[in-house]
Every structure is written in C-alpha cells, then in structure tokens.
Amino acid sequence: MQILAIDKMKRAVSESELNQHLPEELAATIKLYLDEKIRSFYFRKDRPGVVFFMETASLDEARSILEQLPLVEEGILDFDLIPVGALTPLATLLN
C-alpha cells in the first residue's frame, strides 16, 4: 500500500529545540528510506515541513513507523496519512 504522509506541527517549538532533534530525525528518516518504508521524501515549499511517500502493508503500519521518529516521540510533529494508488478509472480508456 502506498501512503502519502504530510507532516503537521502538534505544538509550537523554538528553532533551538527543533535543531537539537534534527540530526536524530534525519538519521531515522534515512534509515526508513534504506529499509524501503519511505520511498521518497520532500521538503514543503509552502511552509517548513516534510512530505513522505511510504510503502507499507497498511495505514496502521505507516502510523506505527512514523511514531518512532524523534519529533513524533517528542510530541512536536504528527502526520496526516492518505492512502494513494493507481488511477484505476484510466482503464476505461483502454476499452
């Protein structure tokens, strides 16, 4: 299952508090990428933040994986999870 995970801040945080967690957050994100749980990740252009495209068996698995990220554990960040897939209505064009 492919999941679009869009971050959202749970509480206000200072730049210094955020910066103290970033090295650990980046390491955890790269590990999830190398474990092929995060397929790709992008920085948002409209505000500070991140968007992940994930590959998991379920929404529950995606939620469980993201709960292990340091910024989520600290109660700073959360994610909206949206399941996505192939644009199946395109099949009507093949008939």
In this structure, the number of other CB atoms found within 10 A of the CB of residue 12 comes to: 7
- Buried/exposed code over 48-66 (b: 16+ C-beta within 10 A; e: otherwise): eebbbebebeeeeebbebb
Domain interval for residue 70: 2-94
Cα-Cα end-to-end distance for the chain? 27
Residue 88 has pLDDT above 90, yes or no: no
Provide the number of structural domains found in the chain.
Answer: 1
pLDDT value at position 43? 94
Q: What pLDDT does residue 89 have?
A: 83
pLDDT tens track for 38-85 = 999 999 999 989 999 999 999 999 999 999 999 999 999 999 999 998
Question: CA dist 18 to 7, 49, 51, 77, 78, Å?
Answer: 14, 12, 17, 10, 14
The CATH number of the domain holding residue 35 is 3.30.70.1060
Q: What whole-number distance in Å separates Cα of residue 83 and Cα of residue 55?
A: 10
pTM over 0.85, yes/no: yes
